Each structure stands twice: as structure tokens, then as C-alpha cells.
Amino acid sequence: MSTLHAVVMAGGTGTRFWPASRTARPKQFLPLADGKPMLQATIERLAGLCGEDQIWVVAGKKLAKPLTKLLPSLPKERLLLEPEARDTAPCIALATAAIAAADPQATMVVLPADHVIAPVDAFQAMLRAGAAIAQDGETLVTFGVAPTFPATGFGYVECGEPLAGHGGAHAVRRFREKPDRATAESFLQHGGFLWNSGIFVWRVDAILRAMRATDPELGAAADAMLAATQKGEKSTLQRAFLKAPKRSIDYAVMEKAAKVAVVRAPIRWNDVGNFPALGSIAPPDANGNVAVAADGGSCIPLQSGGNIVYADGARTVALFGVRDLVVVAVDDAVLVCPKDRAQDLKALVEHVRASGRADLL
């Protein structure tokens, strides 16, 4: 098997965790689970799977400083900075170019930095199984999580024929965008559908060929990035990145590529899309209150139930007689909203901006 590299995509901005998340401290910097920043937990989850020198982080250049602070041992050359956010396809092209320049047949795992995943051994086993499939130098491998409810917020992967010699893996029949409720329910009844986890593995030569085949504009940009990386031409690399189409890797490549497989992921997986999602990763108290506390934060509820609390920095949130609220308390800001409004938090963030308080974003 060719050398395994891991690319952690840490570019997310995430307004859905405001005011805990900020422009310079997006979601992946928050200790939403495991008691440590999600990005750090993501990297630690790779220990033993690939060498420390094969771990890459991609993020917007605005995050360079906080990333260097969070990950002091990550060498500068493996922190890939995007000149601007252009969705996942250009991000992955940039990382592919960096790895392929050093090792043209390397195997490459791509992971979001802000998912909660356990247990680690099952997670690593599934990545190894995917990497084995990818050694044909053709197949792009994605990982699918068995759905536990008819989620409308995730994409789905429809399984096709089982892959000979690779237990638990299937050819992908089709990718399905975020469905409506009825469609999601039919997926669950049918059975052959998995949540698209956003985790991938492939050989760098395979993804480059697939980019050229499915999205020539993206393929050309990737080739230009590879050439610029090989020559060490930084400004050419940046220009090539900025020419890459602003598309997701699913839309640009995965949905159209010739050979795509899905490996069933026997893991607990949560993309923690908003504050209420903390309710499914942190243990509730007897009244269903969930508190995520960092750096000495705490919660004291009385006659209160079903609330989600995030408190950091030796700050205590006291709840008295309230139900089903999200309460977030950080150094300079507090948010109070009902749980069922938390998915609309972007509207509040825009209102904060419109109120002339961009300093709080």
C-alpha cells in the first residue's frame, strides 16, 4: 500500500455556534466534545493510522495565527492556507497537489475537522479498509453512516452491488442531496441508504484523474496547483487556487466519477451542526439539561429541563424555571434562544452585524 496521508479540512466558519464561535475561532476550535478543540481531537484520532509527518491541515489564511497557536507542532509546510474559501473541491485540489508533488501515488484520507467520531479503533479500521480499496488507483472511497433517523440535513449515499473481496463495502449507486422529510423516511424504510459522512479516501493520482474527467475546470486548476507546488511558485499556486470553481467535491467529482465505493462506517458520528446537536453527544442530567463547559465553565439548573448550555472560562450559567433553551455564555457575549430557533442563528448573526457590532462576530 502506498503511504497514507491525512488531510484535515479546517476551513469552516460556522455561524451556528455564535457567540462561542467567531471569525477567528470557528467551530473546529471549540471544545464541543472530548473536552478539547474539535480540530485537535480530529488530529489525535489519527494517531497510529498515519505518521505525524503525513498529517496536513487546510484552512483559510485568516486562521493561520490561531491554527499555529492550537497546533504548535504542525510544520508550516503542512499547513495549507487557502487565499479564500471556495468550498471543498478547490480545498481538496490544493491538498492533493501538495501531497502528489512529494509522492505521486500516495493514499490520501480527507476529513472534516469538526465532526465527533468514536470509537477510534473502529474509525481507523474503516479508513484502512477504504485505503485498501483505493489501492487500485481508480476507486474513490466515501464512508457512509447507518442513519438512525430520517435526517433532512445530511446527504445520503445509495448502496449498489457489494464490492468483491471488501466486506462492508459497496459500489455507490447514487449520491442523494439533502432530502425532504418524506424522501428521507423512504430511504430509511428501503434500507440501502447511508448518511454521507464527508470523509473520503483515494490515491492522489486517482482523484486528479477523476477531477480532470468530471470537472475539467477543476482538473486544470488542480494540475496548475500541482505544477506550481512542484516548482515552489507560491503566487502561481494562489492564482491557480483562485481559478478553481467554487464547488463541493461531492458535486464536482463524487456524483459523476466512474468508480466510487462506499464503506459502511461502524462508528458513532455526529457533525454537530448546531447547539441542539450537543444534546446527542454530551450526557444530559436527570431533567435533560445538557451542559458543555470549557475552561472551568459550569451550569446550575433549578426547576429547568431540556436546555442546552455552553459556558466557558470559569463562568456559571444558572437556569431557573426555563425549558428547551439554548444559553451560551462566553467572555464578552451571551446568547439566549429557544432550541427550535437555533438552526436559524444565522439571522441573529446578520442582525448583530447590521447593529454595527461586527466586532462581536
Q: Let me know: does 33 contact 280? Beta carbons within 8 Å.
A: no
Contact between 110 and its own copies (CB under 8 A)?
no
Q: Let me know: does 289 contact 318? Beta carbons within 8 Å.
A: no
The count of other CB atoms within 10 Å of the CB of residue 276 is 20
How many residues contact its own copies, by CB under 8 A?
34
Q: At 286, is the secondary structure helix, strand, or coil?
A: coil
Contact between 149 and its own copies (CB under 8 A)?
no
For its own copies, give the closer residue by CB, 120 or 337: 337
> Which residues, other chains included, contact 178 with Cβ-Cβ below 8 Å and sequence gap of 6+?
152, 153, 154, 155
Q: In the complex, what is the shortest distance from the CB of residue 338 to its own copies, in angstroms, rounded to a whole number? A: 5
For its own copies, give the closer residue by CB, 282 or 348: 348
- One of 318, 343, 358, 361 touching its own copies (CB under 8 A): 318
Q: Which stretch binds its own copies (CB under 8 A): 67-75, 247-255, 284-292, 328-336?
A: 328-336
Across 84-190, the runs of DSSP E, i.e. the strands, are 107-112, 116-118, 140-145, 156-162, 169-176
For its own copies, give the closer residue by CB, 281 or 360: 360
> Which residues, other chains included, contact 62 with Cβ-Cβ below 8 Å and sequence gap of 6+?
23, 24
Contact between 295 and its own copies (CB under 8 A)?
no
Contact between 101 and its own copies (CB under 8 A)?
no
Q: In the complex, what is the shortest distance from the CB of residue 321 to its own copies, in angstroms, rounded to a whole number? A: 4
Contact between 346 and its own copies (CB under 8 A)?
no
For its own copies, give the closer residue by CB, 242 or 360: 360
Question: For residue 103, what is the DSSP state?
Answer: -
> Which residues, other chains included, contact 357 with Cβ-Cβ below 8 Å and sequence gap of 6+?
none
Contact between 334 and its own copies (CB under 8 A)?
yes
From residue 333, alpha-carbon distances to 100, 310, 342 in Å are 44, 12, 16
| Cell numbers found for residue 288 | 435533560
Contact between 315 and its own copies (CB under 8 A)?
yes
- One of 335, 343, 358, 361 touching its own copies (CB under 8 A): 335
Binding site for its own copies (CB under 8 A): 19, 298, 300, 302, 311, 314-322, 325, 327, 329, 332-338, 341, 344-345, 347-348, 351-352, 355, 357, 360
